[in-house]
Structure 1
Amino acid sequence: MSEASQSQTVQPPAPTSSLRLIATLGAIALFAGLLVVSVVEWTRPIIADNHERALQQAVFDVIPGAAERRDFVLTEDGPVPKEEAQERGPIIHVGYTADGDLAGVAMEASGRGYADVIRILYGYDPSCECIVGMSVLESQETPGLGDRIETDPDFLGSIEGLDASLNEDGTGLKHGIRTVGPGEREDPGDIDGITGATVSAEAIGDMLHRSANERLPQLQGHWSELERNE
């Protein structure tokens, strides 16, 4: 080999074209996007089905004796079956016994707790004009403290059978619903509080009062329309 050949400098490879790099990154981004969309579309019905199952169980939990459920939209003219409603409005879940008799209605309520917004579902029985159960649907309250609104037996027990009768003209609750200190209940609408979870427990009382005070007058005079699940 000649000295000239030995002294030749090895040339570095040509730089990758910017357009080629952009095209490659674009293809990767497109593939990733399609993959995400595919996963979302694949899981959407599964998530919806799980949500429906959870809601169904929550309705049965807060309405003792309920074995069937039918959803209604609460309009200015009263409750309308969801499948027939032509306008939007609050959804109420009506529970029926296995024989088709009205067991009660379940309604959602929400309010600010200590950490974040709390969402609940509560049941109302028109035969006793009382709240018969409450279940927490969503909560970020502090574990071991605020989350006791989901487990404390005295707190939950004081909600079961809570008076929610209307005043004489049917425009609001006869007795306000509120959370008081543990063991300090005096009025029919009082709920036993939870030591160490005062804010969370008071939030439940507030949202129950606001929701029942608004929704129950709207249902007044319409119970016969809900009595049988045909």
Structure 2
Amino acid sequence: MGIGFFSAFFLSLMADYAYPLIEKNREARLRKSIYTVLPETKTYHLVNNENNIYKGLNKDSIGTGYAFVAEGGGYQGIIKIMIGIDILKKKISGLKILENVETPGLGSKISSDKFQNQFIGKLLNKPIEYILNKNPQAPFEIQAITGATISTRAVVNIVNKRIQEVKSIPE
């Protein structure tokens, strides 16, 4: 009984110590991902606290776009994505997978630059679609990851759903 009590006490102390460090690292990753998905941005600020939408500004304090987090279910768990949209061009300016627990070697390829970069430049007026075993022909298509169709579908669905939600929020 004493060992159990001591172990529980020690673990709670470690959790209290680690939590602020974990949050600090999470904030740093969030900040870095905003600059990644909004490449023209020099600074940003939170414009919608309820929906966690950030507005990027260039060096002249002119809006460059919006960045926001999207999340949903993947093959093995939750996928968290940072999406950037260019306000003027009405396109996706960047996409960064923040967290995933997809199958190592297959589904985890959603974190590769090759996969994520396919979303850059996609127009916001048509949902993104994925295709299998051939090169994308239409401007709204991306190529699915071979052997990871479920993970690909999950990312596409998460992105499409969140973009529609953000588009419906009044400015």
Contact 1:111 1:119 in 2 (8 A): yes
How far did residue 192 of structure 1 move? 2.0
How far did residue 150 of structure 1 move? 1.2
Q: What are the ranges of 5 or more consecutive residues in structure 1 without an aligned counterpart? A: 1-24, 74-81, 83-88, 166-174, 223-230
| Distance in 2, Cα, partners of 1:185 & 1:33 | 54
Matching residue within 150, 155, 167 for 1:204: 155
Q: Which residue of 2 aligns with 1:51?
A: 26
**What are the within-5 Å matches in structure 2 for residues 24-173 of structure 1?**
25=1, 31-73=6-48, 82=49, 89-151=50-112, 153=114, 155-165=115-125
How far did residue 186 of structure 1 move? 3.8
1:194 equivalent in alignment to 2:145: yes
In the superposition, the TM-score normalised over structure 2's length comes to 0.87
Which one has a bigger Cα radius of gyration? 1
Secondary structure at the counterpart of residue 163 of structure 1: coil
Q: What are the ranges of 5 or more consecutive residues in structure 2 without an aligned counterpart? A: none
Matching residue within 148, 154, 164 for 1:213: 164
Q: CA 1:209–1:39 in structure 2 vs 1: closer, same or farther (change >3 Å)?
A: same
In the superposition, the TM-score normalised over structure 1's length comes to 0.66
Identity within the alignment, %: 28
Q: Which amino acid aligns with 2:146?
A: T
CA offsets 1:140-186 (integer angstroms, 9 cap, x no match): 11122111111152x33320001103xxxxxxxxx222212254434
CA offsets 1:91-118 (integer angstroms, 9 cap, x no match): 1122222332212111111222222221
Q: CA 1:41–1:190 in structure 2 vs 1: closer, same or farther (change >3 Å)?
A: same
| Distance in 2, Cα, partners of 1:119 & 1:204 | 9
Secondary structure at the counterpart of residue 162 of structure 1: coil
Contact 2:95 2:117 in 1 (8 A): no
